[in-house]
Amino acid sequence: MTAREPARLDQLLGQADPAAPALLFRQGAITHGELQSLVDRVAAGLAAQIAPGDRVAVFLPKLPEAVVALFAISRAGGVAVPVNPLLKGPQVAHILADAEARLLLTHAPRAALLAAPPCPVLTLEDDWPGLAAAAAALPDPPGGDCLAMLFYTSGSTGRPKGVMVTHRNLLVGAASVASYLGTAAQDRVLAVLPFSFDFGFSQLTTAFHAGAAVILLDYLTPRDVVAAAVRHGATQLAAVPPLWMQLAELDWPKTRLSTLSASGGRMPEPTVRALRRRFPDARLHLMYGLTEAFRSTTLPPELVDTHPWSIGRAIPGAEVLVVRPDGSLTKDGEPGELVHCGPLVTKGYWRDCERTAQRFRPAPPASHFGGTAVWSGDTVVREADGLLRFIGRKDETIKTMGMRVSPTEIEEVAIASGAVSAAVALGVPDPAAGMRIRLVAVLAAGLSEADARARLATQFRREAPSHFMPSDICFLASLPLSPNGKIDRVRLRQDYGG
pTM: 0.86
Count, residues in the chain: 498
265 is a domain residue: yes
Work out how many domains the chain is built from and give that number. Answer: 2
| pLDDT recorded at residue 156 | 43
Q: How confident is the model at residue 154 (pLDDT cuts 50, 70, 90)?
A: low
Same domain, 68 and 180: yes
Classify residue 438: in a domain, yes or no. Answer: yes
Tens of pLDDT, residues 165-205? 999 999 999 999 999 999 999 999 999 999 999 999 999 99
Residues 207 and 262 in one domain: yes
- Domain of 403 in residue numbering reads as 397-496
Query: Has residue 151 got a pLDDT over 70?
Result: yes
pLDDT: is 127 or 104 the higher one?
A: 104
Assess whether 190 and 324 both reside in one domain.
yes
In the predicted model, is pLDDT for residue 98 greater than 50? yes
| pLDDT at residue 3, as a whole number | 45
Tell whether 43 and 121 lie within a shared domain.
yes
**Residue 257 counted as domain residue:** yes
Residue 415 and residue 297 in one domain? no
Domain boundary among 382, 405, 425: 382
Q: How confident is the model at residue 1 (pLDDT cuts 50, 70, 90)?
A: very low
Task: Say whether both 125 and 38 belong to one domain.
Answer: yes
CA–CA dist 153, 164 (Å, integer) = 11
> For the domain that residue 478 is a member of, what is the CATH number?
3.30.300.30
**Residue 122 counted as domain residue:** yes
pLDDT > 70? residue 157:
no
User: Are 425 and 350 in the same domain?
Assistant: no
Task: List all residues 6 or more positions away from 394 whose beta carbon is below 8 Å from its beta carbon.
Answer: 337, 377, 378, 379
Q: Does 354 lie in the same domain as 413?
A: no
Cβ neighbours, 10 Å, residue 38:
23
Average pLDDT, stretch 302-318?
A: 95
Residues 6+ apart with CB under 8 A from 36: 13, 14, 18
Which residues, listed in sequence order, are joined to residue 320 by a DSSP beta bridge? 340
The proportion of the chain whose per-residue pLDDT surpasses 70, expressed as a percent, equals 95
147 and 90 in one domain? Answer: yes
**Could you tell me if 125 and 24 lie in one domain?**
yes
Average pLDDT over residues 356-366: 96
The pLDDT of residue 90 is above 90:
no
Mean pLDDT of 224-238: 97
- Which residue, 382, 405, 437, sits at the end of a domain? 382
Cα–Cα dist 404/434, whole Å: 11
Does a structural domain hold residue 445? Answer: yes
Q: Are residues 487 and 353 in the same domain?
A: no
Do 35 and 108 belong to one domain? yes
Radius of gyration of the chain (CA): 23
Provide the CATH number for the domain around residue 274: 3.40.50.12780
Helical pair 198-210 and 64-75, crossing angle rounded to 10 deg: 80
Among 323, 356, 382, the domain boundary falls at: 382
> Is 39 within 8 Å of 5 (Cβ atoms)?
no
Q: Is residue 168 part of a domain?
A: yes
In a domain, 473, yes or no: yes
- Decide if 2 is inside a domain: no
